[in-house]
């Protein structure tokens, strides 16, 4: 029989590490949490910190079923593998067979809007989870502020943030905020079969993002909107392969269409405080 412990899939990733920290800050003992992932070096660090660990490849359904069966609650942090939908479905099937108490899934904001292909796997996972009959909580996460921290290199030298996002707005939030919201629903009652759409408190324009970069980099940064084809040409000049160029350009097109605009105040309500701002999010560790 499963013990009263929580299994966190994706625990060795950036969001997963914040989730573990947030659960402990909310009173959960590390020994009641199993961190599961593929990064063995990180798992060794977590074991040293007192967490249970499990080296699991989500494509290995037998291993998934074996580890799921030992736990009462499952946190499924969505992956990035090309076959992630099949992986998610494997976890859900294992949870159903093991009759686990609760599954928490990190989905994507506006997952049910079929205009946005970026969320197709999330929407399919949500439907599979609901159809399973398991008790669930779905947290539809917005765009990470930290994604813009990865884009600081160019503006650091050029003073320009170039993007094919037009006049789009993005209600980005920090990973730490989103992890804390997940920890809140795991450690409190009243979230059975609920879906939360998690956005930052404000819709940031790309001019706002450039202004925040100016503060962080201590130099003026301006936003320059470019056409999608111009962006593709700029990315190719950096030596980037065509597949990555196509992905990044398509991502900007999706942002331009409004997928990450604000959807409500679920995140700040769960946190019980305002969400993290751009400058703080860009400089957070």
Secondary structure in 3-state letters for 136-205: EEEEEECCECHHHHCCCHHHHHHCEEEECCCCCEECCECHHHHHHHHHHHHHCCCCCCEEEEECCCCCEE
* Low pLDDT (below 70) residues in the chain: 1-4
- Residues, the chain: 285
Contact call for residues 179 and 242 (beta carbons, < 8 A): no
Cite the beta strand spans of 191-254 per DSSP E.
194-198, 204-205, 222-225
Contact call for residues 282 and 175 (beta carbons, < 8 A): no
Residue 26 confidence (pLDDT): 96
> What is the residue extent of each domain of the chain?
3-141, 146-170+201-262+273-283
Instruction: Retrieve residue 131's tokens.
Output: 């159809």
Please give the Cα distance from 34 to 256 (Å, whole number).
Answer: 39
Secondary structure of residue 6 in the 3-state scheme:
strand
Top CATH class of 146-170+201-262+273-283 equals alpha beta
Please give the Cα distance from 181 to 111 (Å, whole number).
Answer: 18
Contact call for residues 124 and 116 (beta carbons, < 8 A): no
Name the phi and psi angles at 8, rounded to 5: -110, 105
Which CATH number, 3.40.50.720, 3.40.50.300, 1.10.569.10, 1.10.3720.10, labels domain 3-141? Answer: 3.40.50.720
Name the phi and psi angles at 223, rounded to 5: -90, 130
Angle (CA) 195 140 34, round 5°:
90
């Amino acid at each position: 029989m499963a013990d009263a412990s929580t299994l966190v899939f994706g625990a060795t990733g950036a969001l997963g590490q914040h989730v573990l920290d947030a659960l402990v800050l909310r009173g959960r003992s590390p020994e009641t949490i199993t961190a599961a992932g593929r990064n063995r070096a990180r798992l060794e660090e977590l074991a040293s910190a007192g967490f249970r660990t499990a080296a699991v490849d989500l494509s290995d359904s037998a291993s998934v079923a074996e580890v799921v069966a030992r736990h009462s609650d499952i946190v499924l942090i969505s992956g990035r593998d090309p076959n992630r939908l099949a992986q998610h479905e494997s976890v859900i099937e294992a949870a159903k067979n093991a009759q686990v108490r609760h599954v928490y899934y990190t989905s994507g904001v506006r997952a049910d809007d079929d205009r946005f292909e970026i969320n197709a796997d999330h929407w399919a996972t949500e439907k599979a989870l609901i159809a399973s009959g398991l008790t669930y909580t779905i947290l539809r996460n917005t765009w990470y502020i930290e994604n813009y921290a990865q884009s600081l290199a160019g503006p650091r030298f050029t003073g320009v943030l170039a993007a094919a996002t037009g006049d789009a707005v993005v209600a980005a939030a920090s990973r730490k905020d989103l992890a804390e919201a997940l920890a809140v629903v795991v450690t409190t009652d009243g979230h059975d079969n609920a879906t939360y759409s998690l956005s930052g408190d404000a819709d940031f324009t790309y001019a706002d993002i450039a202004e925040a970069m100016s503060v962080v980099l201590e130099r003026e940064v301006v936003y320059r909107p470019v056409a999608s084809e111009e962006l593709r040409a700029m990315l190719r000049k950096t030596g980037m392969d065509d597949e990555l160029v196509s992905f990044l350009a398509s991502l900007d097109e999706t942002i331009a269409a409004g997928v990450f605009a604000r959807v409500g105040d679920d995140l700040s309500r769960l946190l019980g405080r305002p969400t993290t701002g751009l400058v703080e999010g860009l400089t957070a560790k």
